[in-house]
Structure 1
Amino acid sequence: MTHMAEDLKASLSKDAARLPDRAPAAEERRRTPRGRSTRERKKRTADVVIYAVLAVLVVGLMVPFIWMVSSSLKENNQVLTVPIQWIPTEFVWSNYTDIWTRIPMMGYLQNSLYLAVIITCLQVLTGSLAAYGFSKVRFPGRDVLFLAYIGTIAVPWQAYMVPQYIMMQNLGLTNSFNALILLQAFGAFGVFLMRQYYMTIPDELCEAARIDGLSEYGIWARVILPLSKPALASLALLTFVNTWNDYMGPFIYLTSNRLWTVQLGLRSFVGQFDAEYAMIMTGSVISVIPILVIFLIGQRYFIQGIATSGMKG
C-alpha cells in the first residue's frame, strides 16, 4: 500500500508539472485565430497598397498615349494649347482620311512591315541557334566567348555608326533595305535572352536525343525549339517593336522617299518654320496599331518568356 501511495503521489506530481506547459499551449491556441486574422489584414492592406501604386503607374504610362490620341483629333493650332485640352471642342475625324492623301502612308507602312518581319525572323533564327551553342554545346572557351559577345551590348551604337556606314557604302548597299537587314540580322540581346531560357531546359533531354542519333541541328529543331515558344515570342515581339520604331537606321541608309519607313514618313509634316502636329499625332496613332495588335496576340507567351528567361544563369 505504501508503494501504491508513493506511485500515486509521483503521478500527481508529474501531472502537476505538465499543467504549466499545457496552459501556454492552450493560450496559444486561443490566440492563434486572432493572430492569423491580424496577419491576413496586414496582407490585404499590403495588396491594396501595391495595386494602388500599380494603378497610378499604369495611368502615368497611359497619359502620353491618351494625349496623342486626343491631339490626333484636333486642329493643328489646338494641339499645344496651355493648359492641355484633353477633350477636343470639335473632333476632327478628317485627319484620319486626309493623311492617306497627304503622304504615301500605305507605302511607308509596307516598308516598315517588310523590314520588321524580315529582321525579326532573322534575329529569332540566328539568336536561337547561337544561344543553343552557348548553352547546350560544350567547347573550349565557350563561356569566355559568350561574355565577350554579350559585352558588345555595352558599346554605344554611335561609336561604330560611321565605320558601319563606310562598310555598307563600299559594298554598295546604301539606299537599300539590304543594309539594314544585314546589320540587324544579329543581336547580342537576343542571344542572351534565348540562352537564359535554354539553361532552364534539362541537359538530359539533349543527351537522350544524341543517344538516339539526332544531330545538333536536329536537337535544336526537334527538341529545343518546341519547348521555347515563350522565349521565341518574347524575342520576336521585342525585335519587331524595336525595328518598327527605329528612326536613325532608316534615316542614315535610306535616302529615297519610296524606301522610307513610317517613322521617316512622318517627317513630311515637319517644315522649315513649323510642323503639322495634328497630322504627326495622327500618323503616330496609326503606326502604333500594328504593334498593339501583335502584342495582344502574343502577350501570354511574351509575359511567360520574360518571367522565365532569368530563372537560371
Structure 2
Amino acid sequence: MRQAFSKGFIYILLTIGSLLMLLPFIWMISTSLKTPGEVMSMPPTWIPESWKWDNYLKAWEMAPFLRYTLNSIIVVIVSTIGEIITTILAAYAFSRLQFWGRDIVFAILLGTMMVPGEMLLIPNFVTLSNLGWINQYEALIIPWLASIFSIFLLRQYFLGVPKELHYAAKIDGCSNFRFLWSVMVPLAKPAIVTIALLKAIGSWNAFLWPLIVTQSEEMRTLPVGLTAFTTEAGTNFELLMAASSMIILPMIILYIILQKYIIEGVSKAGLKG
C-alpha cells in the first residue's frame, strides 16, 4: 500500500511538471491563432474566439523564410557532421591512446566549460573579422565544430568499452583508426546519436551568435529571422508566435523520433568511466 502511494505521488509530481513545461508551448500555439486585438485583450484567453490559421501564411510571407530555412539547414548539417568527427577522434584519443600530458590537457579542456560563452563573443568576433569571415557561412559554422561537453560525454562512453577488445584487436594487427571506426563507433551509437541530436537542436535554435556575425538577410538563420516581426511600431505577437511554432516543429519531431537514443546515451555515459 505504501509503495503504491509513493509511486502514485511520483506520477502526480511528474504530471504536474510535464504540464508546467507544456504551458508555454500551448500558449504559443494559442496566441498564433488569435487576432491582434485578442492577443492584447485583458484578461488573456487561452482559446481563440476565431481561429486565424492564415496567421501562419502571413508569417511565412512577411520575411524570406525560405532563405532562412536553407541557411539553418546548411549550418545544422555541416556543424553537426563536423562536431561528430572531431568529438569521435578527440574522445578516442583521451580514452584509449597513451601520450604525455593526456590527463592534464583533458582537465584543462574541461575547465574551459566553466568560462561563460558570453565572454568569448568579442574575441571570437574579432578573430573572424580579421579573417574576413563575417557574414559568411564560415562564421556560422567553424567556431562550433568542436564541443568539450560532447567530447567528455563520448569519452565516458568509450571508457565503458572493455579494454580487452582493444588488446585483442591490437594482437590481430588492427590499427587504432580501424579499431575506432569498426568497433568503438558502432558500440557508441546511442551516445553519438545523442550528441548529434543535441548539436542539431542547439544549432537550429541559435540566435545570439548568428545575429552578431550576419549582416544581410541572405545569411540570416531562422531564429534571427524572427526579428522581422518586431518593428518600431511594436511587435506582431500573433505572427511571431506563428513563425516560432513553425520553427520549433522540426526539432520537436526529430526529438520525438530519437528520444530513446538520448536517454540511453546519456544514462550509459554517466554510469561508466
Q: Shorter-chain TM-score: which interval?
A: over 0.9
Residue 83 of structure 2: aligned partner: 123
Question: Does the 8 Å contact 1:269/1:276 carry over to 2?
Answer: yes
Shift of the alpha carbon at 1:273? 3.2
What secondary structure, in the 3-state scheme, does the structure 1 residue paired with 2:135 have? coil
Residue 172 of structure 2: aligned partner: 212
Residue 311 of structure 1: aligned partner: 271
Alpha-carbon distance in 2 for matches of 1:77, 1:236? 42
Alpha-carbon distance in 2 for matches of 1:230, 1:79? 43
Kindly report which structure 2 residues correspond to 1:126-141, keeping only aligned pairs within 5 A, or say none: 126-141=86-101
Alpha-carbon distance in 2 for matches of 1:66, 1:109? 24
2:60 counterpart of 1:100: yes
- The CA deviation string for residues 93-134 of structure 1, in whole angstroms up to 9 with x for no partner, is 101122222211121112111111111111111111101111
Q: Report the AA paired with residue 58 of structure 1.
A: S
What secondary structure, in the 3-state scheme, does the structure 2 residue paired with 1:283 have? helix
Selected match of 1:247 from 177, 184, 207? 207
What secondary structure, in the 3-state scheme, does the structure 2 residue paired with 1:74 have? coil
- The CA deviation string for residues 276-307 of structure 1, in whole angstroms up to 9 with x for no partner, is 01111001000011101211221111111011
Change (3 A) 1:210 1:82: farther
Q: Report the AA paired with residue 204 of structure 2.
A: W
Residue 203 of structure 1: aligned partner: 163
Q: Report the AA paired with residue 122 of structure 2.
A: V
Aligned-residue CA RMSD in angstroms?
1.1
Residue 11 of structure 2: aligned partner: 51
Instruction: Write out the 4+ residue segments of structure 1 that deviate beyond 6 Å after TM superposition.
Output: none
Question: Does the 8 Å contact 1:177/1:254 carry over to 2?
Answer: no
Q: Report the AA paired with residue 279 of structure 1.
A: L
Question: Does the 8 Å contact 2:59/2:240 carry over to 1?
Answer: no
Residue 27 of structure 1: aligned partner: none
Residue 278 of structure 1: aligned partner: 238
The one of the two structures with greater contact order (alpha-carbon pairs below 8 A, sep at least 6) is: 2
Shift of the alpha carbon at 1:265? 0.7
Selected match of 1:152 from 112, 116, 131? 112
Q: Report the AA paired with residue 34 of structure 2.
A: K
Alpha-carbon distance in 1 for matches of 2:78, 2:229? 28
Alpha-carbon distance in 2 for matches of 1:229, 1:84? 46
Alpha-carbon distance in 1 for matches of 2:242, 2:271? 41
Shift of the alpha carbon at 1:84? 2.5
The structure whose Rg is larger is 1
Question: How many equivalent pairs are there?
Answer: 273
Change (3 A) 1:175 1:301: same
What secondary structure, in the 3-state scheme, does the structure 1 residue paired with 2:87 have? helix
Shift of the alpha carbon at 1:256? 1.0
Selected match of 2:102 from 103, 122, 142? 142
Percent of residue pairs bearing the same amino acid type: 34
Question: Does the 8 Å contact 2:60/2:243 carry over to 1?
Answer: no
